Amino acid sequence: MTGKQTLPEASEDLRDVVLDVHDAVKYFRTRRTSLRGERAQVHAVDGISVRLRAGRTLGLVGESGCGKSTLGRLITGLDTPTSGSVQVGAELRDVTAGAGGRVQAVFQDPASALDPRMNVRASVAEALGGVGKAEREQRVDDAFAAVGLPRELGSRYPHQLSGGQQQRVCIARALIARPDLILLDEAVSSLDASLQAQVLDLLERLQRETGTAYVFISHDLRAVRQVSHSMAVMYLGQIVEEAPADAFDRGLLHPYAVALRSTEPGIFQGEEGIERVVLRGEPPSAVNPPPGCRFAPRCPIADDGCVQVAPELAEVSTGHRVRCHKPGELTLTRAVHADSATSGAADLGGEL
């Protein structure tokens, strides 16, 4: 199993853990066949283990196609893993075995997530399931108030609301069942900058009030950084680095994470010595991941050992794991050397 990871000890404290992903793998069959007639498989998620506690946010970042959304679908039970397990909720029950209600999701496009034939109050109420009428009305009112939607908007249909209002309806609908975990997959990406800021503030406030955990997927590093307590960087179906959010500012150790981080100069505004790391080439195909380190073909500091031997995800300090044979050898302040070593290379930033 190429995605093998260093797992926490079984005796580790599971109190407050509301998401436990254990060695999750998701392969998709493609129409392509090999010379021997075998169907090729996309290694969309390839051996991921993560845990998340109540009231915390895990940010998931990485280039398009690295497997973020597939992992999100496994976490919400919309897809079943090829192998491994996903347990959710305060009781940590298998998401595919009836614990699905403990996790809710908000996606990028609120218009397509809402039923156009239902007024939005009915859409929110529908997520509540079997409770009495009086309680349902009260909880819908509370959910509208929590996301800052005037009660009168409840009788409108989705197309009569703005994008920001629609996304608030989706958040109200996710919250009303009091889930332990909400997946936010590019949930603010379709909103303009000021609405994004409002919705991110709203999500943070709701988390403080309810203790709901979030998995926050976005291609926008700045948004992820704002709301996350810890961040996981994915590359070709694997986590290459997971770090507390403050380590994400300065202490990243994986060359890909450093490169990704260096493409977001705004976060470092006013800081000296930060240069962009420019990476060679495109990400390789998830159909045939390279046998050694998956990042080696694009890594500015890879050597023969990296090409041949796949590194494990190893814990370097509490909550900080990295999958690299040379952790910390490429730093943000030394990025200028990597840049000059790979002149003429593809620009990672444009692909995010």
Ligand X SMILES: Nc1ncnc2c1ncn2[C@@H]1O[C@H](COP(=O)(O)OP(=O)(O)OP(=O)(O)O)[C@@H](O)[C@H]1O
Q: Given the rule CB under 6 A, which residues bind ligand X?
A: 28, 42, 44, 62, 64-70, 219, 286
Query: Residue 73 in contact with residue 230, Cβ under 8 Å?
Result: no
Query: Residue 86 in contact with residue 92, Cβ under 8 Å?
Result: no
Q: Which residue has tokens 């959304």?
A: 69
Q: How far is the CB of 263 from ligand X (least distance, A)?
A: 15
Measure the CA angle with vertex 258, ends 252 and 264; round to 5°: 110
Query: Residue 203 in contact with residue 147, Cβ under 8 Å?
Result: no
Q: Which is nearer to ligand X, 165 or 238 (CB)?
A: 238
Q: How far is the CB of 260 from ligand X (least distance, A)?
A: 13
Q: How far is the CB of 18 from ligand X (least distance, A)?
A: 22
Q: How far is the CB of 265 from ligand X (least distance, A)?
A: 21
Q: How far is the CB of 202 from ligand X (least distance, A)?
A: 23
Q: How far apart are CA 87 and CA 76, in angstroms?
A: 10
Q: Which is nearer to ligand X, 66 or 330 (CB)?
A: 66
Q: Which is nearer to ligand X, 57 or 69 (CB)?
A: 69
Q: Which is nearer to ligand X, 63 or 339 (CB)?
A: 63
DSSP classification of residue 217:
E
Q: How far apart are CA 304 and CA 111, in angstroms?
A: 50
Q: How far is the CB of 56 from ligand X (least distance, A)?
A: 21
Q: How far apart are CA 294 and CA 275, in angstroms?
A: 24
Q: How far apart are CA 264 and CA 61, in angstroms?
A: 13
Q: Which is nearer to ligand X, 17 or 61 (CB)?
A: 61
Q: Which is nearer to ligand X, 108 or 165 (CB)?
A: 108
Q: Which is nearer to ligand X, 47 or 327 (CB)?
A: 47
Q: How far apart are CA 25 and CA 44, in angstroms?
A: 8
Strand partners, 46: 25
DSSP of 57-123, one letter per residue? EEEEE-STTSSHHHHHHHHTTSS--SEEEEEETTTTEETTTT-GGGEEEE-S-HHHHS-TTS-HHHH
Q: How far is the CB of 21 from ligand X (least distance, A)?
A: 14
Q: Which is nearer to ligand X, 301 or 346 (CB)?
A: 346
With H, G, I as helix, E, B as strand and everything else as coil, classify residue 351. Answer: helix
Q: How far is the CB of 32 from ligand X (least distance, A)?
A: 11
Torsion (CA) 102, 105, 110, 112 in degrees, nearest 10:
-90
Q: Count Cα atoms within 13 angstroms, Cβ side, for 328.
A: 6
Q: How far apart are CA 177 and CA 40, in angstroms?
A: 40
Strand partners, 42: 28
